[in-house]
Structure 1
């Protein structure tokens, strides 16, 4: 029998309020804690205790929220870091493909040839994208299966969030420089085309999403 408003409900509410992180992962952790408490309380009831006393004893044995919350918070921080890393990998890959398609489509009407500086800048941005993609996948693996082989804590999750924000800044600046120095900026070749509108929407939405996820990562790791 569930005792509404009893010691278990109060404990679960306190635990929920102490945690920050992805909604689904947080709900799963709180649900597991609640189920464990109910199982323990039912065991004590079968031993002859009334429900209120059984719940109080279950809560006492489970541990103080202030002592348990850091371990739960570590799991949530790593879950958010894993999501952030996967988002960065997906976003960088998507933007690379979209930019390449847009570039090749627009270039058919150009007679312009990039100078050495532009070529170096473009190559730097391209290779940085490859490196970020690989690094993000490694970070996601570290926060997931990697925890079986080594201890990974909230500092790693915080670093992942900071890295995501840094990646956004780098590619925004690099992309802006490439756009300003290319004919597309001056001739608005792609501006009114479906491809141009799609490219603009993607290059706006993905960085905003990455920033949001990065800041959530830092908050979960705090």
Structure 2
């Protein structure tokens, strides 16, 4: 049975208060609405008018100020897990992809003879850095999963992950820019289709990571308000 407006106004206000990934947030709002409607129907069957039943159900459920912190904490965990999973999967795969590209690059390994002496050192440094980022993502994913029993403030894990990704951005940009500059002396790389595709894939993954990191920082910008108790 549809609500008269009391419940709908309540869940609309709750939705506007919460910040987080769309799907988990929608699931939370839907679950809250269904719970309120079930409670209202039970009260209505006990003799209350529909509007009175909805008001009583909302009062029993708790004010938005009371329940929003708990909901927001769950959304911050969800956002952190998404970014952690993205780093854990895509960063090592990107490193592997570029290793394969350079191995099949036309004239390789003779192509490396035309590159600066520092090229190999920087390339290996980028690979190690990518593996480190992937490792951090894996640890964060574990912390926001099974590790929740030991972590008192999972919101801080999510925020750290967002800061970490943005902190790594200038390092990766400078390193990858140096590699692109150093590879200019290798004839044919700019016309090598797999290399062009790999570059586009890398840029797309970077954009996804930065967007998710921005969302994590936005969601955890302020700590949830303390729960009000009677």
Q: Distance in 1 between matches of 2:118 and 2:26?
A: 51
Q: Say if 2:10 and 2:58, in contact at 8 Å, map to a contact too.
A: yes
Question: What is the SS of the residue equivalent to 1:191?
Answer: helix
Deviation (angstroms), 1:109: 4.4
Q: Distance in 2 between matches of 1:146 and 1:30?
A: 26
Q: Output aligned runs, 1:173-184, within 5 Å.
A: 173-181=174-182, 184=183
Q: Please, what is the CA RMSD of the aligned residues?
A: 1.9
109-118 vs 169-178, which moves further: 109-118
Aligned residues: 219
Deviation (angstroms), 1:115: 6.4
Deviation (angstroms), 1:114: 6.4
Match of 2:3 in 1: 3
Deviation (angstroms), 1:189: 2.2
Match of 2:140 in 1: 139
Deviation (angstroms), 1:37: 0.8
Match of 1:12 in 2: 11
Question: What is the SS of the residue equivalent to 1:130?
Answer: helix
What TM-score do the two structures reach when normalised by structure 2? 0.87
Asked whether 1:172 is paired with 2:173, we answer yes
13-22 vs 184-193, which moves further: 184-193
Q: Distance in 1 between matches of 2:148 and 2:70?
A: 13
Q: Say if 1:154 and 1:221, in contact at 8 Å, map to a contact too.
A: yes
Asked whether 1:47 is paired with 2:21, we answer no
19-28 vs 60-69, which moves further: 60-69
Match of 1:35 in 2: 34
* Residues 178-216 of structure 1: per-residue CA shift (max 9 Å, x gap): 2222xx323452222320221121121111111111001
Q: Any gaps of 5 or more consecutive residues in structure 1?
A: none
Q: Output aligned runs, 1:10-159, within 5 Å.
A: 10-106=9-105, 107-110=108-111, 112=113, 117-159=118-160
Q: Distance in 2 between matches of 1:111 and 1:53?
A: 78
Q: Say if 1:7 and 1:55, in contact at 8 Å, map to a contact too.
A: yes
